[in-house]
Structure 1
Amino acid sequence: MRIGYARVSTAEQSLDLQRDALQAAGVAPDQVYEDRASGAAEARPGLEACLRALRSGDELVIWRLDRLGRNLSHLIETAEALAARGVVLRVLTGAGAGLDPSTPEGRLMLRLFAMLAEFEREILRERTRAGLAAARARGRKGGRRFALTAAQVRLAAAAMKSKETEPDELAKTLGVSRGTLYRYVSPDGELRDYGRRVLKI
């Protein structure tokens, strides 16, 4: 039986691409286990359920090698445990695609690819830290951008003070959801935390 596993990453928060790839590889939709935790997260119930479901002779299909392990050692440990149980690991794309961890050559290549993936992630983290430090040195702070500009927050606050304003229509006009709008202003037009931060109050 083919069983699939998919997990989101920081850069890719949708599982659609992975689901499509797994189904194209012959995994039935009801045999795809999923997690929405980051790679470093300890708790991954989807992976745990997936590993419990696998039997000798089954094939575990993953989109990319880095979807499987929390880190380098966990990835290697998981892949080698699968091979010992007689489960075939199939990687669809990227480094590790086509390798067979049940063979000595496959295990060697798995370790090499995993080490390269870990090195690449560390380089990316280092670049991110350096970029944030450079931005802070120039007076900018990192983090998620606000959904509304200062002008939009002022407009929203003024509009919400009017009883004739429909919150859903206002949110649609501003290009956000009603919930997002309420993070910036209250139903009475009072500034909330996000709104005050945008206006630097």
Structure 2
Amino acid sequence: MGSKTFGYVRVSTTDQNIERQLTKMQELGIEERDIFIDRASGKDFNRPQYRAMKSVIRNGDLIYIDALDRLGRNYDEIIREWKDVTRAVGADIVVLENETLFDSRKFKAMNTEDSKLGSLMEDQFLSLLSYMADQERQKLLKRQAEGIVEARKAGKHLGRPKLDLSTLSKEQREVLEANYEAWRRKELTGVKFAEMLGLKKNSFYKIVKEYELLQLGHHA
């Protein structure tokens, strides 16, 4: 069986538009069945369509993504996942936004029996760009949390009178997902977490409990 070409598309939420990324993949001639689309946060790689793509890629296959942050936004996991795909599996990745720098085929071509210069250069570029992606995510989450706090100070309502997980705004949901584990490990206080979410104490614990039950359901 010959090598195949795949496209990976990701947006953070269900209401964001995938058309721009999808169009790029179609213009590359990638068949619809070979384009994998996730509507999920980039905080980790526990995404259904990404996992599905990983299960079918083989040595010699090629994956296109629009930008590095579409692959993910966690610094360490981006590096680990890139190396797993390109070195353990033997597939290749091309980042369209930085195609001159990030085409794993070019780095592989620079390697010889006596030198792994290409792999060394790839590691350096990957570290730099994934770090930048991670920093952008941290700044975004900080701005979101600060915006929620300021909105509450201004007397604005950030949800319906009867709060539950489904009534959280997109910003609140991302802050919840990004900081839940730190709160669970007691690295973040409940008071601070509730403030970041713009929730009162009772509403905060109600939301967190519902979120915990949802997480348990996903892992059942």
Alignment TM class, shorter chain as reference: 0.5 to 0.7
Segment drifting more, 3-12 vs 14-23: 3-12
Equivalent residue in structure 2 for 1:87, among 78, 91, 112: 91
- Within-5 A mapping of 1:96-135: 98-101=101-104, 102=108, 103-135=119-151
- Partner of residue 54, structure 1: 57
What CA distance in whole angstroms lies between the structure 1 residues aligned with 2:71 and 2:60?
Answer: 19
What is the aligned-residue RMSD (CA, Å)? 2.3
Native 8 Å contact 2:61 2:92 kept in 1? yes
Higher Rg of the two aligned structures: 1
- Partner of residue 187, structure 2: none
What CA distance in whole angstroms lies between the structure 2 residues aligned with 1:99 and 1:19?
Answer: 20
Segment drifting more, 41-50 vs 52-61: 41-50
Q: Which amino acid aligns with 2:72?
A: G
TM-score under structure 2 normalisation? 0.58
- Partner of residue 26, structure 1: 29
Post-superposition shift, 1:96?
6.8
- Partner of residue 113, structure 2: none
Q: Spell out structure 1 runs of 4+ moving beyond 6 A.
A: none
Deviations 1:122-151 (A, max 9, x none): 11111121122122112113359xxxxxxx
% same residue: 33
Structure 2 unaligned spans of 5+: 109-118, 161-220
What CA distance in whole angstroms lies between the structure 2 residues aligned with 1:66 and 1:143?
Answer: 29
More helix by share: 2
Post-superposition shift, 1:60?
0.7
Native 8 Å contact 2:74 2:133 kept in 1? no
Q: Which amino acid aligns with 1:72?
A: Y
- Partner of residue 176, structure 1: none
Structure 1 unaligned spans of 5+: 145-201
Count how many residue pairs are aligned between Structure 1 and Structure 2: 143
TM-score under structure 1 normalisation? 0.63
